[in-house]
Structure 1
Amino acid sequence: MLKICLIRHGETDWNAKGIIQGTLNTELNNRGKQQAESCAAYLSKENWDLVISSPLIRAMDTATIIANKISLNVQIMDEFIEKHYGEAVGSPLIDKTLHDQVGEQFILFKKRVLIGLNRLIENYDNKNILLVTHGDVIQVILTTLLHSNEYNNKVNNASLSEIEYNNVHWTINYFNRINYL
């Protein structure tokens, strides 16, 4: 069975201010670094085979903190980079519907993320994977697994959502766990 723990990166200053980052490289703030440390301590209680990250700095830094704690290296997968929001980057996240109309087309974003998920299935059967990525990526994965077009639950910074694949179907074990922070 393939088990994947989806981890949203720690907080950035832009997250704290509610500003769209998209593929812009922003760094973790002090709170985000502390969140990543707490996440690492919590996850170190289980056995993990690999850590995969989006190439953006905020995800890579979160993944590196976690990987150092559990003595693994970080592998980068471009498929799990955040959605590109085009001209909406830098604007307040008020009307997400409006922001979804600019930048990377949602159908292409979803296709990219699912290609990455299928690569994990093909290459890492019976592995336990930590996947450090972004809120929109996690939402795409979960909406796909739930066969839903919309999933409006907020994905908190440094939250954990665990999914499993048994070669037939997916199971969502939990979503948006933050009780360890």
Structure 2
Amino acid sequence: MLELWLIRHGETDWNREGRIQGQQHNPLSALGELQARRLGGRLMGERFDIVYCSDLRRAVQTAELALPGVPLTLDERLREISRGTLEGHLGAELVGEAKDVYAQMQRDLINVRPPQGENYRDLSVRAVAWLESLPARGKVAAVTHGGVIYALLHHIVGAHEGATWRFTASNAGITRLHIHNGRTTLVSVNDTAHLEPQADLRVARQPLVT
């Protein structure tokens, strides 16, 4: 059996501001660093055969704070969805063609691709390719992004494109899966119990993709 832990990075300033973050190499905020350390307390005593990590700065920083001294295998396939020329902006700041594209994305996340960016299909292809490259057994962790976690969960449960429900992936949240003989068990989704002792460690509202 393969035991897979999918872990979202801690908060960044752009997360808090609601900016379109995509594949920018933003660092963790002060809160994000604290979340990552709390995550480390939760992971203390866990032993992984391999720890994969997105090569974006916020993911690497989360992994290094939560799992100090543990070797990381960086993989670009675990990067957040690219939002191209929209990155760095608030939705409300966009004008002209960029504003139109952003509005189209809100209506059709699956197919609309921003200039120089990706759509959800593009993200799913690379995320699933990473998943299918994993060993059939062992204990694996991946420190990644909300979009990647959504894409993998939707793939695993066979969600239809028109589904009206969505998963949640909070900053520093943990999703655990058991995969055996082609069958997947969702052990936990978006577990944030390690952030509960202090209320302000949780971000009240998460954007769909960051």
Q: What's 1:91 paired with?
A: 89
Q: TM-score scaled to structure 2, two decimals? A: 0.78
Kindly indicate whether residue 155 of structure 2 is the aligned counterpart of residue 155 of structure 1: no
My pick for the range that moved more, 151-160 or 23-32, is: 151-160
Correspondences of 1:155-174 after superposition (within 5 Å):
155-174=169-188
SS in 2 for 1:180: helix
Q: What is the letter of the counterpart of residue 70 of structure 2?
A: L
In structure 1, runs of 5+ residues without a counterpart are none
Q: What's 1:30 paired with?
A: 30
Q: Deviations over 1:26-74 (max 9, x none)?
A: 0001111111111111011333222110000000111112221xx4211
Correspondences of 1:117-132 after superposition (within 5 Å):
117-120=131-134, 124-132=135-143
Q: What's 1:107 paired with?
A: 121
Alpha-carbon offset, residue 106 of structure 1: 2.2
Q: What's 1:2 paired with?
A: 2
Alpha-carbon offset, residue 137 of structure 1: 0.4
**Whole-angstrom distance in 2 between the partners of 1:57 and 1:21:** 12
Percent identity (aligned):
29
In structure 2, runs of 5+ residues without a counterpart are 93-102, 196-210
SS in 2 for 1:156: coil
Q: What's 2:20 paired with?
A: 20
Count of residue pairs the alignment pairs up: 176
SS in 2 for 1:131: strand
Q: Deviations over 1:122-154 (max 9, x none)?
A: xx3321111000000000000111110355233
My pick for the range that moved more, 170-179 or 86-95, is: 86-95
**Whole-angstrom distance in 2 between the partners of 1:163 and 1:142:** 10
My pick for the range that moved more, 88-97 or 157-166, is: 88-97
Q: Deviations over 1:59-110 (max 9, x none)?
A: 0111112221xx4211101111111011221233686625842121322221
